[in-house]
Amino acid sequence: MTEKISKNDLYVYGLSDDILSSLQVLSFDSDLNEVEAIHSDSESLVEEKVKVKVKTVPSCNSCGIESFPENSDDHRLHFKTDLHRFNIKRTINGLRPVDAEQFENLVQSQENTTADDSGSESSSNEESGEDEGDTEYVNGGHSDQLTAILEAELQDLNLKDSETGPASHLNTQSPLIFMRSEKLSQGKVFGVYKSLFHGNEQDSPLKSIYSWKKQENTQHFSVLFMIGGGHFAGAVISHQRIATSGNSMNKSNMSVQEQAVQVLEQKTFHRYTTRRKQGGSQSANDNAKGKANSAGSSLRRYNEAALKMDVQALLKKWEPYISKCDNIFIRANSVADRKIFLENTCISKTDSRLKSFPFTTMRPTSNELRRAWTQLSYLSISDKPQPKVKKTQIEPTKEKVKSKAASSEVEELKSEEELHTEKLISFIQKSKAPLLITYIKKNNLDINFRLQPSSEYHHTPTMLHFASFHSLKHMVLVLLSNLKADPTITNNTGKTAWDLAKDRSVKESFQLARYNIGEHSTDWKASHVGDALSAEQIDEMHKKEALEEENRQKVLMQKELQAAKERIKEDKELNKGPGTTLGTMSTNLQINLNSLNDDQRMRLMREQRARAAEARMKQFSGN
């Protein structure tokens, strides 16, 4: 059962004989139905070696006969039989051997088929001479019959393959190869990552695992690299594990299996190449939006180049390991990061050892490399893949019919005016003026066409109202100047299209259209449109306003600058204080005495009296 298997016993480069001998590769068709695959002679040889069975008696692998009676010629006679020759042909064509009983049934069924097809012709041949039939049987007629049986069986297999796809242990639709084992409970299987095998090793996974077990793991190792977001981690990991008997989860939350990973070399780098919480490298941002000129972008650009130099210098240093390793695993999400390993380095793009991690990895660190190698190099226990359930086409067809019927009913419920409205509004919203003009002319629609349903477009009953309300200035100009829409039409609240304009640019489109089509084309007073303006007048007005705005901004800046200077001056005066005038000596002495306590005041007065006495004594001695 699963709970009895230790994780340490599932290391693919050191599987125990007990587990290895119990493994049986599972094969699936394209629908994940389990099928029995034919083991090649090399695969059978591996299983025999694992089970350590040495054959000392004659046998026949082609027919599945393990032994013949000792001191007899049965095995020599067997090799001359039709059964043996038939099984050899089956093995060559990838079919399982049959036993004597199955062989007789096949021959009998073929004879019955031949008899039915030949009819009376075969019976007349039998009456004409039995000796001739016997001669054909001896000379190869029976051989032709066996060939026909084999071809019929191969044809049946081809038909099955065309329906469900060829059977293979690689048809798992996952990065794992699954293996059955008697050590596991029902419905559970072992899984080993396909990426551990390269070349023809995937064809015979058990043989490869057996060869890994026999080799000296101390001389075999793999190289792992991860890079992303300015972080890099690389390691050379030996296939020989470190003894960890008695170990438990350590402070770094490393499992016992991760602690057993023997790291021969490791190195990590980090460079600031990505803006925090932004994602993406600086080079990718430059390619998408153009080269930025900020200090941060220059720093990130420099660090990208420095990181590339650091990694390629490490690859050159580790070239002896890379040239002799069994696998090279690289995790590089972006094309630029992957080029670091493949351009002007010792790693070739066509190297069969070059692989990606078949699962999601975290930030590149030394511990993450250990975790990834542990996940790669240990058998996993998972549920057996379940066959795909083919969805019947009947129900979806019914649903499609219902949906089509419902949609057709909706279309029928819509009036012709509503369908026109949908098209017109679509062209206006997308500013597709040529398509709008073509559609109106093709369907002979009035330019003042009332949008439907009226309950939905009561506020914007015409195309001009709709364009004005949604600030589509270009479409307003096209509707007035090119299509001659009527600007005097009002909505249910008595507002014209001009009244619905919210932006000045839209109103300028109305005024420009008034200038273009002239004063006598419509009643401009009833439309509430402002005075006509030419394009030059509008441009001149914009320039004048821009100049006034620029001058206003300059005045505001000068005022702000003057106010800032005054604030600085006030702050300086507050920090320095207004200053005080020097008072008389007695005033200062009184202030000082008032700030002292009684003891300090008495001490100061004694010192003053002593100085006064000394001064008098000097005066007397001088006289």
According to DSSP, the β-strands at 221-228 and 327-332 are: parallel
Please state, in angstroms and rounded to a whole number, the distance separating the CA atoms of residues 216 and 219.
6
d(CA 359, CA 366): 17
Q: At what angle do helices 82-92 and 100-118 cross, to 10 degrees?
A: 90
**C-alpha separations of 268 from 228, 437, 485, 567 in Å:** 12, 65, 71, 53
What would the DSSP string read from start to end of 130-154?
HHHHHHHIIIIIHHHHHHHHHHHHH
Q: What is the Cα Rg of the chain in Å?
A: 47
240, 266, 282, 562: the catalytic one is 282
Cβ proximity of 303 and 229 under 8 Å: no
Instruction: Tell me the DSSP string of 325-342.
Output: -SEEEEEE-SHHHHHHHH
Q: What DSSP state is assigned to residue 514? A: H
Residues 6+ apart with CB under 8 A from 100: 83
Q: Which residues contact 440 (CB under 8 A, 6 or more apart)?
A: 424, 447, 449, 483
Concerning whether 619 is annotated as a catalytic residue, the answer is no
C-alpha to C-alpha distances, 562 to 531, 553, 572, nearest whole angstrom? 42, 14, 16
How far is residue 303 from each of residues 94, 229, 268, 345, measured CA to CA in Å?
A: 57, 11, 15, 20
| Euclidean distance between CA atoms 274 and 270, whole angstroms | 11
Q: Which residues, in sequence order, are bridge partners of residue 28?
A: 34, 168
**Residue of 91, 94, 50, 55 lying closest to 75 (CA atoms):** 55
Helices 335-342/295-317 angle, 10° precision: 30
Please give the positions annotated as active site: 282
